[in-house]
Copies of this chain bind each other. A is one copy, B any other.
């Protein structure tokens, strides 16, 4: 019995250590997608101009940093409500981390080809995958009784407001639209799409 409890705590501790590691690395690895300008003739105006020309890469870095940071807040909020893990939740969490670990690639493509539907579509599809798996983790945890009492109450209140498939749907439709209309608007759309769980996290 006590062996079971320590085993469970061990499983949670290592799952969270791996998860925080993947989030921290994805957040930090993003920066290597911004290329240092390569100027043959070095003069001052040119460097300043070359740095400004990288604004597409800087924007996609900022977008992905904000997205991963808010995903981490959600992940952290969700696992604070989980009392125990089962096999399926572990596998779903690994798939979720796969989406997070993959995100630097669409970010890189978006930085280089931000004006093209294929780049925006790849990015939106990755976000929708993460949001979908994340939503499904909540559904599974609630059904399988993996939540703490407090967590179950909070999640039920949240589910009245929003179905789990709504976030990926919003991301798939609204994100590309607003991105193609005007890049920075996408940041506004992406943020509410990933943060519903955030508000309640501030309650305590």
Q: Which residues of A contact B (CB under 8 A)?
A: 3-4, 7-8, 10-11, 14-18, 20-32, 34, 36-37, 39, 42, 44, 47-48, 51, 61, 65, 69, 72-73, 76, 79-80, 86-87, 90, 94, 97-98, 101-102, 104-105, 108-109, 112-113, 116-119, 122, 148, 150, 198, 201-202, 204
Contacts and interface: CB of A to CB of B under 8 A. Distances in A.
A198 B94 CA distance: 14
B105 A31 contact: yes
Contacts of A69: 94, 97-98
Contacts of A48: 117-118
Given A29-B29, A31-B104, 7 more contacts: A21-B21, A27-B97, A42-B113, A48-B118, A51-B109, A51-B122, A69-B97
Number of copies: 4
Contacts of A42: 113, 116
A23 B49 CA distance: 30
A3 B83 CA distance: 11
A108 B36 contact: yes
